[in-house]
A and B are shown apart, each in its own frame.
Chain A
Amino acid sequence: MTYTDNGNHGSYRVKGDTGDWEIVVGLEVHAQVTAQSKLFSGAATTFGAEPNSQVSLVDAAMPGMLPVLNGECVRQAVRTGLALGAEIHRWSRFDRKNYFYADLPQGYQISQLYHPIVGEGTLDVETDDGTRTTVGIERIHLEQDAGKSVHDLHPTMSYVDLNRSGCALMEIVSKPDIRSPAEAGAYVAALRQLLRYVGSCDGNMDEGSMRADVNVSVRRPGEGFGTRTETKNVNSVRFIMQAVEVEARRQVELIEGGGTVVQETRLFDPNSGTTRSMRSKEDAHDYRYFPDPDLLPVEFDEAFVADCLASLPELPVAKRARYVEALDISAYNAAVLTADVETARYFEAVLDGTGAPLATAAANWVTSELFGALKKAGVGIEASPVKPGQAADLLKLVGDGSISNSIAKQVLEVMVETGEDPAAIVEARGLQQVSDTGAIDAAIAAIIAANADKVDQYKAGKEALFGFFVGQTMKAMAGKANPGVVNERLKAALAG
């Protein structure tokens, strides 16, 4: 294994009784490939279906059944590899990983040990404190998922649900380049973000679409690798960070107490926040990998790779840079808007309606007003009651002075509630901004007349009172006065 660590890490250390320890983490992320059907069968892959309702004869490993490779899964793996700047292997092959388990009908998992479809790549990762590092990708291979054993429905029997059996997974293996729980979390978040952009995995960790095996070891800074443990099937970013942290601490305590870390497979228990041993190296299975004779090697030409490349959308790093450089959006907003592909998709649909000159206003509005409204409504942006076209119309009404920002907030509330178009709401409720100087001047005159004392104080130098006059004028105008015009006319009137 090549070691690609660029050394650019935060200085995270586990403080032991005998000094500082550095942790070394490598992650194997299993990402379920977004596809209509399974890796080697035509059965559907919808999450949450009735148990055993999405099982073909192949998935149940009936006698004489044969796997047929789903080309879409190959395409998604190649697209993912390209998005990670990885080497795409024009020739790869499937191997059988043999072991017995009740939810593994074939008695083997079809995977790719010897010749994975994707080779080395990299992923740039930024932690919350702004530390940036590059994590090496060792490989991506395609493999079948197993079914699900259910042990708690019956006192003496176990149930097996084969819906997931045979679903396509990409196993994305990182190099041991990660040095802190925060980096581990940031890596998984960045990977999830990328997969969702590419569209090769929906990244729904709570549905099990992404899970990680967490390899952890500790060492004195500058020394060689220690013995690692592998904590299996951790299914959230938070748990992954916790697993790294507690497992590193356990190893440090073990070593400092005179023990040695044994290479073993462990399980993370989210309830107790601890890891426990699942099986040691001595009990490890001998998987007897060998090339699957039911399948031909996977070969494709340059045109296929070129098609995959052409099909990739703009990826988060590039998109974020473009927002800052070409659209003049703040770095913070650019990060927020590109964090999730759905947000970026929404934002760009809004921009399609407003045009680039309103990009900054649109960015501010989406990240503050819309996010606030969605949070209040308790829905995600993909289910936003305000469609991007409607949002663009609203922003344009503000942009051309038809309504003020404060009126826009009111309009948004109505839009969220009713789904109506902003122009219709403005029209129906008479919220059109007033720029007519006659009406504004009349209101100003009345206010000056009613507040002679404050006018005198203002003129004597208490300029903070200007805000009071603005407020009174806007109130008199029911919020519809153009604030620019109000400012201008007030200044003139007060100067008189």
Chain B
Amino acid sequence: MTALTDLTIAGMKAGLAKRDFSAAELTAAHLTAMAGARGLNAFIVETPEIATAQAAAADAALARGEAKPLAGIPIGIKDLFCTEGVQTTAGSKILEGFIPQYESTVSGKLLGDGAVMLGKLNMDEFAMGSSNETSAYGKVISPWKAQNSNRELVPGGSSGGSAAAVAARIAAGATGTDTGGSIRQPAAFVGISGIKPTYGRCSRWGVVAFASSLDQAGPMARTVEDCALLLTSMCGYDAKDSTSLNVPVPDFAAGLTGDLRGKRVGVPKEYRLDGMDATIAKLWDQGLEWLKAAGATIVDVSLPHTKYALPAYYIIAPAEASSNLARYDGVRYGLRVTPPGGNLADMYSATRAAGFGAEVKRRIMIGTYVLSAGYYDAYYTQAQRVRALIARDFEQAWAHCDLLLTPTAPSAAFAFGDKADPLAMYLNDVFTVPSSLAGLPAMSVPAGLSADGLPLGLQIIGKPLDEAGVLDAGLAIERAAAFTARP
């Protein structure tokens, strides 16, 4: 029999419904796996008592025949989501010991649908990073190793704990958040699926803010169907978030077909970078073939402003972050450092100097700089113009196609320390950032392996609110790729 932790969420649902196993057994299996995989450092806080109690409640609901859609499904919650009564740090020392009195809308919806919370997942500090090296709680280590190498690899970031936990079969699924690729890139690095829905689909209420105009929650899981199941629970209008979209949420899993007949898939030529990894280029072509086989027609499209996306992103996101992170000032919660004899300004400086890590400080400084008098127009205003042009690129592309297929990241997972230069690290987001700037739904699905046996993902980008179309294309690739490799 398959280990319980190897089941998909759909498989777990079926097994629970048939009473092949109980939610308590399922949760216990995951808690055991969690305890056995602490070396990965995927969790900042483990919540076995909560999980056990929620599993018992799920069993009771199952017994009554009143089980909610995710009853008994053990998941991890990225530590960016505020969880009532459970420490929430956003991976930062400045929030160490912070216990929210409230539950984020998205985690609340998942738990409300019966999901079991295993714990809070490690992440890059304030979601700023692509390798999980910026967490104040230690780096998350990918469960994968390259062939013939013993070097520890990054799980990607910022949702690295989510990625590692799901890939290592510690959690059936996890929440992630994606500002410029933080769901898709780690999903690709560890060989799982992850979708960032349209900006506004998931409420940001209770999610620690990085860059408000870009932040979007989404699920990470081992199959496209599992992503669809979680996404259905996570989405929905929330009056507490002014940017939340008041649109109906379809049952994404029920609507999945993988049938792409009549769909046109665009190939943006600007994504074919000079010196692109040959394996990735080949996998991309292979992906297009798979989609064709599923009924799609392939068209070449142009997104002419793509090359400006990364610079614009690294102005807009830090600008918003520099303001969003001003509230961590030592006055009301979190870390406070009071230098002897110091005044208020000294307390701010000391608190923020001790509480924030280097990458967060770097982005606060970049953001402060680009918003400063005399620089605002040259940087921030210009970046907003670029953002509008990038959104227009996509709108024009939708005249010719329904979906876009691209690689998720320019490389497979790298080893710790290999991208010590921040700029080299930022380049990792080159394929994921444009769709973030345009607020479009986009997902990564595992499609193959690199030359040294590491997972590679393909990215599907869709029209606004067409998560269903993105998931269908993801399913088509998943079926065709038959990706069975595991760490």
Contacts and interface: CB of A to CB of B under 8 A. Distances in A.
Interface of A: 57, 60-69, 96, 98, 100-102, 105-108, 158, 160, 286, 288-290, 293-296
A290 B100 contact: no
B102 interface: yes
Contacts of B372: 286, 288
B332 A60 contact: yes
B237 interface: no
B472 interface: no
Interface of B: 81-82, 88, 90, 95, 98, 100-102, 104, 204-209, 211-213, 239-243, 319-320, 322-323, 325-327, 329, 331-333, 344-345, 348, 368, 371-373, 376, 380
A288 B209 CA distance: 18
Contact of B241 (A66, A106, A160): A66
A63 B368 contact: no
B212 A294 contact: yes
B371 A64 contact: no
Contacts of B205: 64-66
B316 to A, nearest CB: 9
B329 A96 contact: no
A68 B241 CA distance: 7
B323 A96 contact: yes
A107 B213 CA distance: 18
A158 B204 CA distance: 33
Contact of B326 (A69, A100, A158, A294): A100
Contacts, number: 101
A63 B95 contact: yes
9 contacts: A57-B101, A63-B209, A63-B333, A68-B240, A100-B348, A105-B331, A107-B325, A286-B373, A295-B243
A63 B373 contact: no
B426 to A, nearest CB: 20
Contacts of B207: 64
Main secondary structure of the interface of B (DSSP, over half): loop
Nearest to A284: B373
A107 B88 contact: no
Given A98-B326, A290-B323, A66 B368 contact: no
The 8 closest A-B pairs by CB, nearest first: A107-B326, A288-B371, A293-B213, A293-B212, A61-B327, A64-B206, A63-B208, A64-B82
Given A63-B82, A64-B209, A102-B344, A290 B90 contact: no
Nearest to A107: B326
Contacts of A98: 322-323, 326, 371
Contact of B90 (A63, A67, A286, A295): A63
A107 B329 contact: yes
Given A105-B327, A107-B329, A290-B319, A64 B242 contact: no
A38 B213 CA distance: 23
A106 B212 CA distance: 14
B420 to A, nearest CB: 30
B242 A66 contact: yes
Contacts of B208: 63-64
A163 to B, nearest CB: 15
Contacts of B81: 64
A290 B242 contact: no
Nearest to B327: A61
A69 B345 CA distance: 31
Contact of B104 (A64, A101, A160): A64
A67 B209 contact: no
A63 B332 contact: no
A491 to B, nearest CB: 80
A67 B324 CA distance: 12
Nearest to B320: A293
A102 B332 CA distance: 9
A64 B217 CA distance: 13
Given A65-B205, A296-B243, 18 more contacts: A57-B102, A62-B101, A63-B82, A63-B100, A63-B327, A64-B100, A64-B205, A100-B326, A100-B329, A106-B327, A108-B326, A286-B372, A288-B323, A288-B368, A288-B371, A288-B373, A289-B371, A293-B320
Contacts of B348: 100
B380 A105 contact: no
A295 B243 CA distance: 7
A460 B204 CA distance: 100
A67 B206 contact: no
A194 B371 CA distance: 38
Given A290-B319, A293-B320, A68 B333 contact: no
Contacts of A69: 242
- Which of A64, A102, A105, A108: most chain B Cβ within 10 A? A64
A107 B331 CA distance: 11
B442 to A, nearest CB: 20
Contacts of A106: 326-327
Contact of B327 (A66, A102, A107): A107
Nearest to A67: B242
A105 B334 CA distance: 13
A173 to B, nearest CB: 20
A340 B135 CA distance: 61
Contacts of A61: 327, 332
B332 A290 contact: no
A108 B332 contact: no
Contacts of A102: 329, 331, 344
Contacts of B101: 57, 62
A57 B98 CA distance: 14
A390 B242 CA distance: 51
Given A102-B344, A290-B371, A294-B212, A66 B204 contact: yes
Contacts of B329: 100, 102, 107
A296 B242 contact: yes
A318 B88 CA distance: 59
Contact of B376 (A64, A290, A294): A290
A112 to B, nearest CB: 15
Contact of A64 (B204, B323, B326, B331): B204
B166 to A, nearest CB: 23
Contacts of B212: 293-294
B175 to A, nearest CB: 13
B100 A108 contact: no
A58 to B, nearest CB: 9
Contacts of A288: 322-323, 368, 371-373, 376
A224 to B, nearest CB: 25
Contacts of B322: 98, 288
A66 B240 contact: yes
Nearest to A295: B242
A209 B252 CA distance: 51
A69 B239 CA distance: 11
- Which of B204, B208, B240, B380: most chain A Cβ within 10 A? B240
B88 A105 contact: no
Contacts of B239: 68
B257 to A, nearest CB: 35
Contacts of A68: 239-242
Nearest to A103: B331
B108 to A, nearest CB: 12
Nearest to A286: B373
A107 B98 contact: no
A131 to B, nearest CB: 40
